[in-house]
Amino acid sequence: MSAANLRLDLPDMPEAAAQLRLDVRAFIDEERKAGRLPPPERVGLGFSQEMTKRIAARGWIGLTWPKKYGGQERSALERYVVTEELLAAAVPVGAHWVADRQSGPVLLKFGTEEQRQEYLPRIVAGECGFCIGMSEPESGSDLASLKSRAQKVDGGWKINGRKIWTTNAHRVHYMIALVRTSVVEGARHAGISQLIIDLQAPGVTISPIISMAGEHDFNEVLLEDVFVPDKALIGQEGNGWNQVSAELAYERSGPERWLSSFRLIAELIDVLGPDARPSSQEELGRLLSHLLALRQLSMSVASMIQQGQTPNLEAAIVKDLGTKFEQEAVRVVRNIVSAENLTAHGRADRLKALLIHAQQYSPAFTIRGGTNEILRGIIAKGIGLR
């Protein structure tokens, strides 16, 4: 592909999406009124198994999946609407996020029928969550250099290695681990496979890593002679690299790549009211126009996924632009908070607390799911510049 024929077309939203949006908003209102959705104190995804159960009861997990696995067979664009509304309202969706966004779709695309029947209905019911076992202490951007190994043994695989930055490993049930199963001379991307690991299995040790914001989301996961049965292998042995490439397109383009700071912006607008200084209004106006453009790009990628494409290049563009926007939003809000006299407003303290969290958390935006330098390499290659 070259830059000349790179196109991101805005899709037509299906009519049913408009009603779905209203349904999600009504649910959020109900949750707020019932006191089950307190005002957010952090940017990024919160974690609540109870909330995941309530969202599951509405049928909004695995929305696009076949009915025989508990899904609703609705479109990727309708799923987009659900995730957008939940994130914009800072609903804690972390308990099902990874399973709904990427583990389930990977099982649908590459898994066996037995795996689909075993895991998908439980994900849809909000009963089981997954984490991503890709990064290792010395393999992040250069993921193909990973050292975790699975050795073939009678009836299964024995895994040894160390995964790091594994978000929510201490709270969910399974990890899809990327491990080396064979060595193919001169082809480092070959011989890598994906295996499902039950995080309660003997030999799995999960240790916390506390973030700069003082929170425990990340973990280091040590795998020592962990046995998984043959049926834990996803897709073909040695094809893990291709499978992960497809998975990363799901991971990189969604609204979570440009909505992390949205509550902060919304909170600021509420606190400022109509009397903000002209310079603050101008800065906010610029920010919001960028937000709308990003939303259109991100919806275009959702539409490509809907059409069965694997838009790795387009997803990398959305993530690069989206995460830079999220960081810029924190900077703009901080400038406006410093310039305006907000002390009289009852919600100013909450806004400032959210801003402090956003400042501590925002470096992660351009690292998680692939750093921006790596994304730009993918973009350069994709449009024929290298």
Q: For residue 205, state whether it binds ligand FAD (rule: CB under 6 A).
A: no
Of positions 364, 378, 379, 382, contacts ligand FAD by CB under 6 A: 364
216-220 contacts: CB < 8 A, separation 24 or more? Answer: 216/170, 217/47, 217/167, 217/168, 218/164, 218/165, 218/166, 218/167, 219/164, 219/165, 219/166, 219/167, 219/168, 219/169, 219/170, 220/137, 220/162, 220/163, 220/164, 220/166
Residues 288, 371: contact at Cβ < 8 Å?
Answer: no
**Closest approach of ligand FAD to the CB of residue 116, in Å:** 23
How far is the C-alpha of 307 from the C-alpha of 303, rounded, in Å? 6
Q: Which is nearer to ligand FAD, 133 or 311 (CB)?
A: 133
**Closest approach of ligand FAD to the CB of residue 171, in Å:** 12
Rg (the chain; Cα; Å): 21
**What does 276-325 look like in DSSP terms, one character per residue?**
--HHHHHHHHHHHHHHHHHHHHHHHHHHHHHTT---HHHHHHHHHHHHHH
Stretch that binds ligand FAD, among 30-38, 66-74, 229-237, 365-373 (CB under 6 A): 365-373
Q: Which is nearer to ligand FAD, 33 or 386 (CB)?
A: 386
Q: For residue 370, state whether it binds ligand FAD (rule: CB under 6 A).
A: yes
For ligand FAD (CB under 6 A), the number of binding residues is 18
Q: For residue 368, state whether it binds ligand FAD (rule: CB under 6 A).
A: yes
Q: How many CA atoms lie within 13 A of 237 on its CB side?
A: 13
Draw the binding track, 282-321, toward ligand FAD (x: CB under 6 A; -: no contact). Answer: ----------------------------------------
Distances in whole angstroms, Cα of residue 76 to Cα of each of 86, 113, 129, 184, 296: 15, 22, 20, 37, 14
Q: Which is nearer to ligand FAD, 102 or 300 (CB)?
A: 102
Q: Which is nearer to ligand FAD, 49 or 281 (CB)?
A: 49
C-alpha 353 chain-centroid distance: 24
Residues 48, 169: contact at Cβ < 8 Å?
Answer: no
Q: For residue 374, state whether it binds ligand FAD (rule: CB under 6 A).
A: yes
Residues 273, 347: contact at Cβ < 8 Å?
Answer: no
Q: Which is nearer to ligand FAD, 48 or 371 (CB)?
A: 371
Q: Which is nearer to ligand FAD, 135 or 312 (CB)?
A: 135
Q: Which is nearer to ligand FAD, 20 or 143 (CB)?
A: 143
Q: Which of residues 126-185 bind ligand FAD (CB under 6 A)?
A: 131-135, 140-141, 165-167
Q: Which is nearer to ligand FAD, 82 or 143 (CB)?
A: 143
**Closest approach of ligand FAD to the CB of residue 329, in Å:** 17
Stretch that binds ligand FAD, among 49-57, 150-158, 282-290, 372-380 (CB under 6 A): 372-380
Among candidate residues 267, 272, 264, the one with its CA nearest the CA of residue 345: 272
Residues 197, 166: contact at Cβ < 8 Å?
Answer: no
**Closest approach of ligand FAD to the CB of residue 246, in Å:** 16
Where in 38-188 does DSSP place strands (E)? 130-133, 149-153, 156-164, 174-180
Of positions 342, 371, 381, 383, contacts ligand FAD by CB under 6 A: 371
**Closest approach of ligand FAD to the CB of residue 368, in Å:** 3
Binding site for ligand FAD (CB under 6 A): 131-135, 140-141, 165-167, 364, 367-368, 370-371, 373-374, 377
